[in-house]
Amino acid sequence: MNDNHAIDYARYDHIRPIRWTGDALELLDQRKLPFVVEHVLCSDSDAVAAAIHALTVRGAPAIGIAAAWGVVLAARGLDAGDGAAALQALEPAMARLNAARPTAVNLAWALARMRGVLAAAGSDWKQVLALEAQAIADEDLAANRHMGERGAGLIAPGSGVLTHCNTGSLATAGFGTALGVIRAGVAQGRIARVFAGETRPWLQGARLTVWELQQDGIDATLVADSAASHLMKTGAVQWVVVGADRICANGDTANKIGTYQLAIAARHHGVKFMVVAPSSTVDMGTAHGDAIEIEQRDPGELFGVGGVRTVAEGIQAWNPVFDVTPGSLIDAIVTEKGVILDPDVAAMRAAFGG
């Protein structure tokens, strides 16, 4: 297939982590993949908040979509004359949803959208809420497909790519961000080899990314995180393609821990580095990466693999969830609004204002 051929999305995009039934929200339980494919049924907003906190659903765009449907569930049984009155009543539920993963930019962004339409709604406010939640999901899928084609267009035919964490259909409404670029690149014949880092300590690459690509018939080779530099040295990789949790006004990008060291290794080996994320992930109000609070998780996550302890008792551990890659190490930021090459303050302002 050449790059002028339309992408067969039905072939390259099978998985949907979020399903709205009309009465409840079904979330694919990502904690149990790849060996158990099971959905968790959420019938109220607190169940959605609990699922977000427990990583049943994960990935910044997917969390935002789930939270939007959580607001719809919170509205069930609420009697309010108009959207403004409903907004006041729903605020505690929205606060609980936001607190489930407070550092996820898309979560707060999606809740802000729900607040905005609610404030302006009349007596049909429940319908307005449901339409907005669906719009957030539909727009995410459309944006991912658009980003996939834009990003793939930067990659020369026959290239090898390395990705980190999981940025695919599991983390979004579908198709994915960085994995969307990989899907589009494979469909267009631009990407010949796909490598995925295992992504300790939660192993999103090992448990989720290679499984997800397998569902779409895309061959992927799993590598240990510590093998990435050696892999680049062999010449097998021409691009590192990753997602983002927050992109600052100067192009500095927060992403899953381990991304920064990939960018350093890529620059040393002459490998290009691409960040792929929707514009909702761009935070022009944060000047640079040093201003980002890095979330810390339970150090105990480092003490074992798959529930089996591998570390002696009494050992201390440090477990940051994210790191920040300087914009100076990024060759391209790809959003649905366009591609920013060699991002800096001027390029980011030209693309996003502020």
Phi/psi of residue 46, nearest 5 degrees: -65, -30
Of 118, 143, 168, which residue constitutes the final position of a domain?
A: 143
Q: DSSP label at 3?
A: T
Give the H/E segment covering residue 193. strand 191-197
pLDDT of 1: 40
The candidate with the shortest Cα–Cα distance to 110, out of 69, 54, 145, 78, is: 69
- Same domain as 271, residue 163: yes
Number of domains in the chain: 2
Measure CA of the first residue to CA of the last residue in the chain; give whole Å.
40
- Same domain as 345, residue 200: yes
245 a catalytic residue: yes
**Of 29, 245, 252, 323, which residue is the catalytic one?**
245
Token representation of residue 352 = 């996003």
CATH code at position 119 = 1.20.120.420
- Same domain as 44, residue 23: yes
- Same domain as 346, residue 212: yes
Q: Is residue 315 part of a domain?
A: yes
Sign, CA torsion 55/175/323/335: negative
- Same domain as 254, residue 175: yes
Of 143, 168, 202, which residue constitutes the final position of a domain?
A: 143
* Three-state secondary-structure class, residue 151: helix
- Same domain as 309, residue 216: yes
| Whether 64 contacts 106, CB under 8 Å | yes
* Three-state secondary-structure class, residue 62: helix
Q: Is residue 2 part of a domain?
A: no
Going residue by residue through the chain, which has 354 residues, state the pLDDT in tens, using 9 for 90 and above.
444 467 888 788 888 999 999 999 999 999 999 999 999 999 999 999 999 999 999 988 999 999 999 999 999 989 999 999 999 999 999 999 999 986 667 899 999 999 999 999 999 999 999 999 999 999 999 999 999 999 999 999 999 999 999 999 999 999 999 999 999 999 999 999 999 999 999 999 999 999 999 999 999 999 999 999 999 999 999 999 999 989 999 999 999 999 999 999 999 999 999 999 999 889 999 999 999 989 888 999 999 988 899 999 999 999 999 999 999 999 999 999 999 999 999 999 999 997
Sign, CA torsion 286/290/295/301: positive
Rounded CA gap, 95 and 35, in Å?
34
DSSP string, 171-222: GSSSS-SHHHHHHHHHHTT-EEEEEEE--TTTTHIIIIIHHHHHHTT---EE
- Same domain as 269, residue 156: yes
Q: Is residue 4 part of a domain?
A: no
Range of the domain at 99: 9-143
- Same domain as 336, residue 206: yes
CATH code at position 177 = 3.40.50.10470
Distance (Å) of CA 311 to CA 232, 238, 276, 315, 319: 30, 36, 35, 7, 14
Q: Give the bridge partners for 273, in sequence order.
A: 240
Rounded CA gap, 149 and 106, in Å?
22
Token representation of residue 309 = 């302890």
- Same domain as 228, residue 134: no
- Same domain as 157, residue 235: yes
Which residue reads 């908040």 in tokens? Answer: 49
Q: Is residue 1 part of a domain?
A: no
Rounded CA gap, 312 and 299, in Å?
13
| Whether 348 contacts 284, CB under 8 Å | yes
Q: Is residue 333 part of a domain?
A: yes
Token representation of residue 49 = 């908040």
Of 109, 143, 177, which residue constitutes the final position of a domain?
A: 143
Report residue 80 CA to chain centroid gap: 35
- Same domain as 155, residue 34: no
- Same domain as 190, residue 310: yes
The whole-model pTM stands at: 0.92
pLDDT of 306: 80
Distance (Å) of CA 328 to CA 211, 233, 239, 251, 263: 32, 21, 16, 8, 10
Give the H/E segment covering residue 332. strand 332-335
